[in-house]
Amino acid sequence: MGTKARLALVAVALGIVYVVWGSTYLAIRVAVREMPPLVGMGSRFLTAGLLLGALLTARGIDIRVSRKQLAGAALVGLLLPLLGNGLVAIGEESGAPSGIAALLVAAVPLYVAVYRFLAGDRPRLLSVLGVVLGFGGLAWLVLAGRDQGHVPLGGALIILAASAFWGFGSWVQPRLHLPENAFVLSVHEMWTGGSMMIAVGLLRGERPHLLAYGGHTWLAWGYLVVFGSMIAYTAYAWVLANARIGLVATYAYVNPLVAVLLGWLILDEPITRGIVTGGLVIIAAVAIVITVESRPRARRVEPVLEAAA
């Protein structure tokens, strides 16, 4: 493949990650208006995992894994789909706007940096400053939004917890025994995580009423299955292997901008001064942490992000 063709594919794949992952917060907000959050999003991941597994099998890729690899994938499924995406869905069901949810989840690289520091990784000064700045932006976003009546505190705290779990799942993933093929990992992460989400949802009293859902709900759910879980993840996995990590990492601060704009355009979610100020501070802090931690050290530097709605 020529250089121009590869650059074009990188641009297309990165564009998909920018727009599609940024739009999943809007789709989740629409879906959970009628669907119960955990059962609805769990069925999304379970369906996407089964479809992706069938597609890989049809292409001759062996998706079988060992018990140890399956256990590792299930742990990732617990931390990312269930405790990450599932809590985002509950937070949005509780009234948190989709754009606010995306800005709160954008803090995942900050949490990853904190976990690395706690594990003994000596932080760089700029990383520490970026983390402090980022959490200050989070506090301002939640408190300013609450004062203006646009950010319910309960929903915001649930999404902050989701971001912390997402960060921990991203930090612990390289330490687990997992399938080498990223797509095979995705299959087992999604079907196990989706199954756990459905089970927990049923235990907390969620009951799906399939015939009662409107067309917008099913459209949002289908979009999340096909575009959010299958196409965007495939694009992310490909671009991660074919572009610099510093370039790929830019999705962490482009996604929130896409989500805020789509929420404003489609759902009439307000863009207040507090949202703009807090959002810009968070994005700037994430950009600092990603830029600093992407620089080579004397020893291997672990990835500082791995999140997707």
| pLDDT tens track for 146-193 | 555 566 788 889 999 999 998 898 888 888 898 888 889 889 999 999
Token representation of residue 259: 């989500």
Average the pLDDT over 120-125 and give the result.
80
| The pLDDT value given to residue 194 | 96
In the predicted model, is pLDDT for residue 306 greater than 60? Answer: no
In the predicted model, is pLDDT for residue 308 greater than 60? Answer: no
Q: How confident is the model at residue 23 (pLDDT cuts 50, 70, 90)?
A: very high
In the predicted model, is pLDDT for residue 245 greater than 70? Answer: no
State how far the alpha carbon of 262 is from the alpha carbons of 53, 202, 256, 269, in Å. 31, 31, 10, 9
| The pLDDT value given to residue 146 | 56
> Is the pLDDT higher at 175 or at 37?
37
CB 72 within 8 A of CB 178: yes
Going by C-alpha positions, the residue among 171, 170, 114 that lies closest to residue 138 is 114
Going by C-alpha positions, the residue among 252, 309, 293, 250 that lies closest to residue 116 is 293
Q: Which residues of 172-189 are buried (b: 16+ CB within 10 A; e: fewer)?
A: bbeeeebbeebbbbbbbb
| The pLDDT value given to residue 50 | 96
Average the pLDDT over 242-248 and give the result.
70
Cα 307–Cα 44–Cα 14 angle in degrees, nearest 5: 40
Which segment, 5-9, 13-17, 181-185, 198-202, is predicted with the most confidence on average? 198-202
CB 174 within 8 A of CB 65: no
| The pLDDT value given to residue 175 | 87
| The pLDDT value given to residue 301 | 46
| The pLDDT value given to residue 24 | 93
> Is the pLDDT higher at 198 or at 245?
198
| The pLDDT value given to residue 4 | 75
124-133, 138-147, 179-188, 221-230: least confidently modelled range: 138-147
Enter the pTM of the model. 0.85
Over the chain, what is the mean pLDDT? 86
Length of the chain: 309
In the predicted model, is pLDDT for residue 63 greater than 90? Answer: yes
In the predicted model, is pLDDT for residue 5 greater than 80? Answer: no
Q: What is the residue-wise DSSP string for 88-156?
A: HHHHHHTT--HHHHHHHHTTHHHHHHHHHHHTTPPPPHHHHHHHHHHHHHHHHHHHHHHHTTSS-HHHH
76-114 pLDDT per residue, tens? 999 999 999 999 999 999 988 898 898 888 888 888 888
192 Cβ contact partners less than 8 Å away, ≥ 6 residues apart: 49, 70, 73, 74, 77, 78
